[in-house]
Amino acid sequence: MTAAGAFGFEVEATSGRARAGRLRTPHGEVLTPCFMPVGTKGTVKAVLPPTLRAVGAQVVLANTYHLYLRPGVELVRAHGGLHHFMGWSGPILTDSGGFQVFSLSDTRIVGDDGVEFTSVYDGSRHLFTPLLAVAAQEALGADIVMCFDQCAPGTLSRAEIERAVARTSRWAAECRAAQTRDDQLLVGIVQGGADVELRRRSTAALLALDFEAYAIGGLSVGERGDEMLATVALMDELLPADRFRYFMGIGDPEGILEVIARGVDLFDCVLPTRLARTGSAFTSQGRLNLRNARYADDLGPLDPDCDCACCRGYTRAYLRHLVNQKEIAGMQLLSEHNLRVLVRLCERARVAIRAGAFDEFVDEVRARRTMADDERRTLP
Residues forming contacts to a second copy in the complex (CB under 8 A) are 41-50, 70-71, 75, 78-79, 85-87, 296-297, 299, 309, 313-315, 317-318, 320-322, 324-325, 327-329, 331-333
In Å, how far are 71, 74, 114, 311 from 67, measured between CA atoms? 6, 10, 18, 33
- Whether 195 is catalytic is no
Q: Distance between CA 189 and CA 204 in Å, rounded?
A: 12
Closer by beta carbon to a second copy, 30 or else 333: 333
Which entry of 95, 195, 236, 374 is annotated as an active-site residue?
95
Question: 328-354 and 253-261 are packed helices; what angle lies between their axes, rounded to 10 degrees?
Answer: 30
Closer by beta carbon to a second copy, 213 or else 331: 331
CB 235 within 8 A of CB 203: yes
Residue spans of alpha helices (H) in the chain: 49-55, 64-69, 73-78, 82-86, 98-103, 130-140, 158-178, 196-208, 225-238, 253-261, 271-277, 309-313, 316-324, 328-354, 358-368, 373-378
Q: How far is the CB of 54 from a second copy (least distance, A)?
A: 9
Q: How far is the CB of 318 from a second copy (least distance, A)?
A: 6
Closer by beta carbon to a second copy, 324 or else 370: 324
For 1-98, list the strands marked E by DSSP: 8-15, 18-25, 28-32, 34-36, 60-62, 92-94
Q: How far is the CB of 66 from a second copy (least distance, A)?
A: 8
The residue among 244, 255, 113, 134 whose CA lies nearest residue 184 is 134
Q: How far is the CB of 325 from a second copy (least distance, A)?
A: 5
Which entry of 265, 268, 303, 374 is annotated as an active-site residue?
268
Q: How far is the CB of 289 from a second copy (least distance, A)?
A: 17
- Whether 374 is catalytic is no
Q: How far is the CB of 310 from a second copy (least distance, A)?
A: 9
Q: Distance between CA 30 and CA 184 in Å, rounded?
A: 15
CB 172 within 8 A of CB 147: yes
CB 142 within 8 A of CB 134: no
Provide the 8-state DSSP code for 2.
Answer: P
Closer by beta carbon to a second copy, 78 or else 109: 78
Q: Distance between CA 64 and CA 128 in Å, rounded?
A: 11
Closer by beta carbon to a second copy, 260 or else 331: 331
In Å, how far are 260, 276, 297 from 320, measured between CA atoms? 33, 12, 9
Q: How far is the CB of 79 from a second copy (least distance, A)?
A: 6
Q: Distance between CA 193 and CA 158 in Å, rounded?
A: 9
Closer by beta carbon to a second copy, 70 or else 369: 70
CB 363 within 8 A of CB 357: no
CB 211 within 8 A of CB 186: yes
Closer by beta carbon to a second copy, 261 or else 334: 334
Bridge-based pairing of strands 18-25 and 28-32 is antiparallel
Q: List the catalytic residues.
A: 95, 268
